[in-house]
Structure 1
């Protein structure tokens, strides 16, 4: 059954039926309920094209992802975020468009999407400091929502972020309380705002404890298992190697563990590790009763759901001040941390 046939069966105009199905306030409640009941009875599902033509709206949210030599967004953490947003978009009748573009074309891609009128709003990933996307989108006047924050951009905009600085400061401080003085930081790419905040948390914990930081114990790069493995090997081969690591991702942590074991050491006995565990659906941190790694836990899938809710609210209420939300990560104690061993030379 198409829209015309449904309208004929109800003896209503196609415009009235379309407006009733899409919740327009000028349609009376009695008519709306009658149309919805008939649509269910006839198993009617409006096509996206017909719906958009009738309402003048695209009902689409776009995620533009740049391919870069410096970082790669397309990983299992990103997939979990996309799964979370997709759940909410589907509930509210929105389509999700994910566009992967060359980094040099990223800004133009936003302009092109707006010029075509093919988008209701944008979800912004991986914000950088002084991120050029934010002033561009403010200028274009299209609703957008940022997963994260951009230091250096002072105009109000809508965002949700995890308190990355506090999470890593707390994790580093926990290792210091266990007696660790040489702690390696294996961070994400520090062109990203979140990674710079995590480094700040690591440094702050050292300063508060009166411990000097050592640049040979700090590195950044892609949050992958190979990057964690290589970075950990370099640090473990130092004349004065670390006794513990703080890692920006459970993916990097798997590489750190491989490096530790390749040196004949044991995680949780000889070397302690705390990771920023994104509570990844396809890569759980052990079991709830027995976490494999001590971790700063924050569900990226839950963040995706919340970001989508807030973006849709932003689309529907553009006159309201932009909503901003800061989540705290939870420190989960697992089997990867222990009291620092005393120096064998003493």
Structure 2
């Protein structure tokens, strides 16, 4: 069904129907509701190209991924974030444009996106510390929301982030309360801002209890299963092995658990593990009882909230930057217990 057919069905002009669907204030509330109900009942979908010509917008949102971050970002966590954002785009009639660009071409890519009017806004993924993309996009004037934050960037900008520092401080504190003193950290790549903040939270908890920060108990790599396995295996072979491990990803934690079992040790009795859990839709942390004690925050929900925030900025271009800090919930699972004697 097209706009003309919908208008004939309602016995209204095409202009009135179009304005009702696009939220123009001069259309009465009763007419707007009637048009929206008919559009839903008859499965009407507006032609986005025609709509773009009428409104001066592309009705598309861009997601640009630098090549250097593709292994870190194009993973199950990224997939769930995109799924959450996609729910909002579908609801609001927006398309999604994914672009993978070489780092050296990133500035030109954003400038090209802006000049060609390819998208109405951008979601920035994988912010690093001192991320130059924030200043670039602010200068270009393209609406954007950052999934995460960037340390040492003093410009005002919009972001949705989880309290990574607070989460890892709380998780490490929980292990200390269980009596653990040799606590390892399996972190993500620490030029990424989320990992930088998680390390800071871990170190803050140790310092608060007078415990030393031991480089032999700290690793930083892409968050894969094999990384978790190899790093845990190596640390368990040390003379002063850890009794507990903080993991930045449930995928890494699965590898750590494999190394614990292979060493003939029991999870929670000999070695405790806490992981960050993005509540992935297809990699659930147990059923009724969590497998891993976890710091849980839904990345799919973060995707929905970032998309909603960006569409709000697009519809009200003069509005001030928006920010939202999400807290991770500590979920007690079967992977933690008192420190062994």
Question: The TM-score by the shorter chain falls in which range?
Answer: over 0.9
CA gap of 1:234–1:48, structure 2 versus 1, over 3 A, is same
Who is 2:165 aligned against? 165
Q: Which sits farther off after the overlay, 162-171 or 16-25?
A: 16-25
Who is 1:229 aligned against? 229
Give the gaps of 5 or more residues in structure 1.
none
Contact 1:77–1:280 (CA<8 Å) still a contact in 2?
Answer: yes
CA gap of 1:220–1:38, structure 2 versus 1, over 3 A, is closer
Distance 1:301 1:246 in 2: 23
- Offset at residue 230 of structure 1 (A): 1.3
1:177 aligns with 2:190: no
Who is 1:64 aligned against? 64
Who is 2:315 aligned against? 316
CA gap of 1:38–1:239, structure 2 versus 1, over 3 A, is closer
1:144 aligns with 2:163: no
Deviation per residue, 1:76-109 (Å, 9 max, x gap)? 1111111111111111121111222233323322
- Offset at residue 158 of structure 1 (A): 0.8
Distance 1:70 1:29 in 2: 46
1:113 aligns with 2:135: no
1:250 aligns with 2:250: yes
- Offset at residue 278 of structure 1 (A): 1.0
Contact 1:18–1:54 (CA<8 Å) still a contact in 2?
Answer: no
CA gap of 1:37–1:297, structure 2 versus 1, over 3 A, is closer
Distance 2:9 2:285 in 1: 55
- Offset at residue 22 of structure 1 (A): 2.0
Q: Which sits farther off after the overlay, 318-327 or 222-231?
A: 318-327
Contact 2:69–2:126 (CA<8 Å) still a contact in 1?
Answer: no
Deviation per residue, 1:208-236 (Å, 9 max, x gap)? 11111110111111111111111111211
1:131 aligns with 2:92: no
Distance 1:277 1:201 in 2: 16
Deviation per residue, 1:271-291 (Å, 9 max, x gap)? 11000111111111112x311
1:299 aligns with 2:328: no
Give the gaps of 5 or more residues in structure 2.
none
- Offset at residue 26 of structure 1 (A): 4.0
Distance 1:98 1:92 in 2: 18
Contact 2:60–2:96 (CA<8 Å) still a contact in 1?
Answer: yes
Q: Which sits farther off after the overlay, 14-23 or 225-234?
A: 14-23
1:340 aligns with 2:321: no
- Offset at residue 25 of structure 1 (A): 2.8
Distance 1:41 1:88 in 2: 20
Distance 1:9 1:241 in 2: 74
Contact 2:292–2:335 (CA<8 Å) still a contact in 1?
Answer: yes
Contact 1:70–1:189 (CA<8 Å) still a contact in 2?
Answer: no
- Offset at residue 318 of structure 1 (A): 2.1
SS at match of 1:68: helix
Distance 1:211 1:44 in 2: 63
CA gap of 1:340–1:98, structure 2 versus 1, over 3 A, is same
Deviation per residue, 1:142-198 (Å, 9 max, x gap)? 111111111111111111111111111111111111111111100011011110110
Q: Which sits farther off after the overlay, 60-69 or 16-25?
A: 16-25
1:187 aligns with 2:187: yes
CA gap of 1:13–1:281, structure 2 versus 1, over 3 A, is same
